[in-house]
């Protein structure tokens, strides 16, 4: 039998796409541009700056909700290619503000910057999280 053995690797990511189903009372308070067609909360964030790349408004927004393991978090490379997609996973610690991997807590200012974004995001992802081995990476 031949099996794939995944070894740790390092790769550069440029952005993270968050797609989660928020509780109705939280979602009702959000501007339409932050919601996908199905009503899920969906944003793309530059990981170096904390800037919401699909921000179209000019109003401050606070998003705090317990999403536990209901989200999809996609790490994007410099050309917006998918590097890793975490499907139905807890909130990645040390990347997205929140507590215990259960909560997201984003404070977005009028310029689309997340004011509580970590100064040095440092997520560690385990192979069990991945919906596929990262493209372009070798073991």
- What is this structure's pTM? 0.81
Asked whether the predicted pLDDT for residue 137 surpasses 70, the reply is no
What is the pLDDT, as a whole number, of residue 125? 63
pLDDT band at 38 (very low <50, low <70, confident <90, very high): confident
| Torsion angle of the four alpha carbons 35, 41, 45, 50, in this order, in degrees rounded to the nearest 10 | 110
Give the confidence band of 134 by pLDDT, cuts at 50, 70, 90. Answer: very low
pLDDT, tens digit (0-9, with 9 covering 90-100), for 53-80: 988 878 899 999 999 888 899 999 999 9
* CB-CB contact of 5 with 139 (8 Å): yes
């Amino acid at each position: 039998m031949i099996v794939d053995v995944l070894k740790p690797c390092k790769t550069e990511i440029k952005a993270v796409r968050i797609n989660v189903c928020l509780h109705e009372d939280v979602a009702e308070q959000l501007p339409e541009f932050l919601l996908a067609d199905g009503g899920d909360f969906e944003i793309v964030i530059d990981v170096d700056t904390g800037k919401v790349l699909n921000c179209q408004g000019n109003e401050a927004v606070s998003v705090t909700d317990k999403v536990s393991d209901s989200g999809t978090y996609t790490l994007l490379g410099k050309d917006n290619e998918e590097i890793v997609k975490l499907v139905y996973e807890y909130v990645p610690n040390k990347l997205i503000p929140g507590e215990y991997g259960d909560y997201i807590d984003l404070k977005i200012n009028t310029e689309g910057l997340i004011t509580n974004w970590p100064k040095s995001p440092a997520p560690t992802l385990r192979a069990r999280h991945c919906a596929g081995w990262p493209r372009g990476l070798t073991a």
